[in-house]
Structure 1
């Protein structure tokens, strides 16, 4: 066992073994004190001076096998790659939070410390292994990993040259309450399929093209009341609530609601699933409310007892503000030459894309910058999947931007069927630009679309947590 005395992140390397295969690598595993587990893969023959760190999803607790980036060709080579469990171990259940009940250090490692600590340790190990630190460092994460990406740009602006923050759980204070709220407003799966068909029939063409997807869900004006007789009165009320988002006495408690077109994804996010026995939203909310999001020693809640009100929103702030990644001050990241790509699926059932648009509007005035881009992927669910477009990966575009200076003017999204076959490609342009059909050729071919002005929506949202944008929170050394 070897020890690395990295300032603020003393590390014990438990094992290091060469693993053969298409890319031979040294598999390094260890623990950053006190309890941050990590895996770092060091290519033995093809390393080209790049480091790629992945974010962690859900409440973490397990190390996702860090994959070598593919498809870049010989000029890219292989990067050293790493991932972490964010400071606790619960590999059998990513929703478990019992570890957080009485351990503030474990909470803080999840909230903000672990990704930063891993970046320091990985670079120290890389320097020891190859003789010099990586020339360029990248971060790529979605959901909680997207939150980590924004957090790194905001609090640790010198850690990474390029960051991808996808579907970021930036609004941690309100997001747990939002999960509880949508879980309580669910409707049966058979009604969900009925609803989705009605929504698509009413709104597929509102963007000017009937193609099985809604370019921007905010264009849709469907009212669930049109399904009276097929949905019960209570179900109609619940559906209207889901689209509108939670509020209390006229004050919005989250900057967004369930997108029109996302309904099929409710069947596992809002409703019971074979894997967990209840929907993802209920699992996330119940476990967080019981053990994680209130200060240790203060009264906690649960899904059964929680009511999402202004009062409860304020009770969540003292602890969860540490996890929010809502700072609007990224000047140091810009000065350091950092490049940021944020992307979000327009039909995200877990983290409404409107919140990301709101943050983007406040951060940049809604315009692309020489250091930042936002991409909104039509029809895509949370981090992947969807009715039509199912995959989006801007990593190669980020590398070209950081190392070649070419800001991405478009990224191709892909749609696959259940057999894995590509059935659609579509360009996604920097927001607020959108893809417009040229009028001929297949609507499933990206070549038949060009950039067009957006739909002119106002993206800034008035909501209960607006003061949180100016609280970057504590910074670990």
Structure 2
């Protein structure tokens, strides 16, 4: 066979596979329904108490906001809280609502309501959905998360209750305002919000018709209590100074990409799957007795090797199902190296220290700190009692599946905060529990985005949003066979687009046209099958159901 014809042959073969396994590809755009007009005024009459089971709700304000230069529709800006302290905001379109509700999650330790942009669900009308978000039941206190120190109710709201009670409250308020409940409800978020998405599918399977869980912090206890502190301690010298400094990261990253770029068969300046990369940082070690920005000292080489390997206990057992992936090095800046915005700490140090001091252990029991953390099996298990309340690790999503729910998981391969391998591990276990990959892909699919950092950004591809595909899947049965990721140049123009196919399929250049255009890539199986299940000390946590709020 002509070598240049091979990609076309693979494309035809894989298309047949896609039709057999994933279903015939259908355009992702889902048309909205007719506009639903409000039946209540946006104002004082909406400011009331709703006695909902387990979610007593108070609307404290409702004000009209005019359309903003056609970029946002006119809407009713609703604020309130669910007892005791789950503060929320809803934005209810006045003239463009077509029946969909989209709820966003909250990142990090939350404690605030993020800005709520109206999403694009593929319709002709702008802002045709109602949207909502919550602060997860507490107010952020800056660099110290002391809100959790002695307040179990606030912890529980953050761990699992807040996203659920907001869904209950929002649907009731939408019904009051429009005279009808939402036709479809969706949840879309990333990071801690991705954890909330998985948690909702596991514990509250009837809250949402479709869920997007991006870069989910699903193993929250081990991630916050072990992995983050380990990152910080691994890169900190005895005098408190960082070992690998930010100025060394560009040279390390450049060497990694140079070594592994062609592993996928295409020289395009990016690593598509870091699991195929074989790179030892000794390749960029400085000459003996020197220390320059373009190379690593022997001590820095040792730290880089450790970061690529991940945390283990003294007996060699993995303490977390992840590590820093090859290609993630630019993202270490501020995550593993110090950040001025966090008082000179790295994000990993700040996250780990606050979790160990205020969140990670039962109230009234001895806590820990970044300085006191020990990476042992005993300390890992000591974190479990409280950690399971916030973990979203259960593999039992049967009720969500039977209710017709659809789940999209996604993760950036170059994520420095939440290792992408942990999400791949979870999906592998989920598939094994639910009848294999083919059966699982009928209702849950994973998309792994090359070069993307944490929830966005990255050195080639930086934007990824599968909401339109989720809506089409739920409302038209059009299971997503690809989602387009894009990267942008300094002026904001799209510099590269690539299709991301359902895992484990990968994008392969078809041999024609620009390598920066998504249309010139086809889905193919990975070059070599890989076992995505990771053996680690917390594997049993997948069998522990989390608590469910009333």
Query: With structure 1 as the length reference, what TM-score do the two structures score?
Result: 0.97
C-alpha deviation, 1:354, in angstroms: 0.7
Distance in structure 1 (CA, Å) of the matches to 2:127 and 2:345: 43
C-alpha deviation, 1:255, in angstroms: 0.5
Distance in structure 1 (CA, Å) of the matches to 2:515 and 2:375: 42
Over residues 216-275 of structure 1, what are the superposed CA-to-partner deviations in whole Å (9 max), with x where a residue is unaligned?
001111011222323222211111110010001111001010000000010121111232
Distance in structure 1 (CA, Å) of the matches to 2:121 and 2:391: 34
Q: Which residue does 2:190 correspond to in 1?
A: 142
- Alignment of 1:2 onto 2:48: yes
Distance in structure 2 (CA, Å) of the matches to 1:99 and 1:344: 30
Distance in structure 2 (CA, Å) of the matches to 1:324 and 1:413: 29
Work out whether residues 118 and 127 of structure 2, in 8 Å CA contact, stay in contact via their aligned partners in 1: no
Q: Which residue does 1:11 correspond to in 2?
A: 57
Over residues 29-63 of structure 1, what are the superposed CA-to-partner deviations in whole Å (9 max), with x where a residue is unaligned?
00110001000111111110110000100000000
Distance in structure 2 (CA, Å) of the matches to 1:228 and 1:195: 10
C-alpha deviation, 1:97, in angstroms: 1.5
Structure 1 unmatched ranges of 5 or more: none
Secondary structure of 1:195's counterpart equals helix
Secondary structure of 2:386's counterpart equals helix
Secondary structure of 2:353's counterpart equals helix
Distance in structure 2 (CA, Å) of the matches to 1:96 and 1:163: 31
Write the mapping of 1:279-318 to structure 2, written as runs, cut at 5 A: 279-318=346-385
Work out whether residues 48 and 76 of structure 1, in 8 Å CA contact, stay in contact via their aligned partners in 2: no
- Alignment of 1:382 onto 2:430: no
Secondary structure of 2:234's counterpart equals coil
Q: How many residues align?
A: 475
Q: Which residue does 1:108 correspond to in 2?
A: 156
**Aligned mate of 2:508, from 418, 428, 436:** 436
Higher relative contact order (CA 8 A, sep 6+): 2
- Alignment of 1:362 onto 2:435: no
C-alpha deviation, 1:473, in angstroms: 1.3
Distance in structure 1 (CA, Å) of the matches to 2:375 and 2:60: 44
* Aligned-pair Cα RMSD in Å: 1.3
Over residues 128-174 of structure 1, what are the superposed CA-to-partner deviations in whole Å (9 max), with x where a residue is unaligned?
11111101000001000000000000000000000000000001121
Q: Which residue does 2:487 correspond to in 1?
A: 415
Distance in structure 2 (CA, Å) of the matches to 1:71 and 1:351: 27
C-alpha deviation, 1:280, in angstroms: 1.1
Bigger mean CA deviation after superposition, 317-326 or 416-425? 416-425
Over residues 162-197 of structure 1, what are the superposed CA-to-partner deviations in whole Å (9 max), with x where a residue is unaligned?
000000000112101101111122311122222111
Over residues 287-320 of structure 1, what are the superposed CA-to-partner deviations in whole Å (9 max), with x where a residue is unaligned?
1111001111111111122122212111110001
C-alpha deviation, 1:75, in angstroms: 6.6
- Alignment of 1:449 onto 2:521: yes
Q: Which residue does 2:5 correspond to in 1?
A: none
Distance in structure 2 (CA, Å) of the matches to 1:202 and 1:6: 58
Q: Which residue does 1:153 correspond to in 2?
A: 201
Q: Which residue does 2:468 correspond to in 1?
A: 396
Work out whether residues 36 and 84 of structure 1, in 8 Å CA contact, stay in contact via their aligned partners in 2: yes
Secondary structure of 2:259's counterpart equals helix
Query: With structure 2 as the length reference, what TM-score do the two structures score?
Result: 0.85
- Alignment of 1:26 onto 2:60: no
Distance in structure 2 (CA, Å) of the matches to 1:419 and 1:87: 39
Secondary structure of 2:99's counterpart equals strand
Write the mapping of 1:185-204 to structure 2, written as runs, cut at 5 A: 185-186=234-235, 187-204=244-261
Q: Which residue does 2:119 correspond to in 1?
A: 69
Work out whether residues 349 and 382 of structure 1, in 8 Å CA contact, stay in contact via their aligned partners in 2: yes
Over residues 65-106 of structure 1, what are the superposed CA-to-partner deviations in whole Å (9 max), with x where a residue is unaligned?
22211362327861110000000012x63x641100000000
Greater gyration radius: 2
Distance in structure 2 (CA, Å) of the matches to 1:107 and 1:288: 11
**Aligned mate of 2:403, from 336, 356, 381:** 336
Secondary structure of 2:389's counterpart equals coil
- Alignment of 1:246 onto 2:336: no
C-alpha deviation, 1:417, in angstroms: 2.1
- Alignment of 1:118 onto 2:166: yes
Distance in structure 2 (CA, Å) of the matches to 1:315 and 1:420: 47
